[in-house]
Amino acid sequence: MMTMKSIAFTISKSLAVALVSVSLANAGEVVEISIEKMKFEPQQVKIKPGTTVKWVNNERRNNHSVFFEKEGYPESERFFPGESWQRTFDNPGTYPYRCGPHPEMTGVVEVGE
Ligand SMILES: [Cu+2]
């Protein structure tokens, strides 16, 4: 038998679940950048604030990182084929980055309205 208290708890729990899924739906889209043949592809992306950029390692064996060196943002972990790393951009601006172990690999994220 459910008591009144446990029914109230069950209802508030399902409300909380509904709220979480709404905020996820509004969280913004995800843009993917593929890493293959020692390149970020596309090399430059233009996104709106709130967008998440996901870098996917599609190499056969190389591991890479994403490093916004000029901004002073901490370098990502090295990620291996099949792995990915992502960052959400809330503020407009131009964000150049490079790969940590391969400085010749560069890319730019442009965030604007
Ligand atoms: Cu690299």
What b/e sequence results for 69-105 when a residue is b if at least 16 CB atoms lie within 10 Å of its CB, and e otherwise? eeeeeeebebbeeeebbebebeeeeebebbbbeeeeb
Q: How far apart are CA 45 and CA 86, in angstroms?
A: 14
Q: Is 105 annotated as a binding residue?
A: yes
Domains of the chain and any CATH numbers: 28-111 (2.60.40.420)
Q: Which one, of 70, 73, 81, 80, lies nearest residue 103 by Cα? A: 70
Amino acid at 14: S
pLDDT of the chain, 113 residues: tens digit per residue: 555 565 555 555 555 554 544 444 445 899 999 999 999 999 999 999 999 999 999 999 999 999 999 999 999 999 999 999 999 999 999 999 999 999 999 999 999 98
Residues, CB within 5 angstroms of ligand 1 (ion): 64, 99, 102, 105
H or E element, residue 22? helix 4-25
0.85 surpassed by pTM: no
Determine the pLDDT at residue 1. Answer: 54
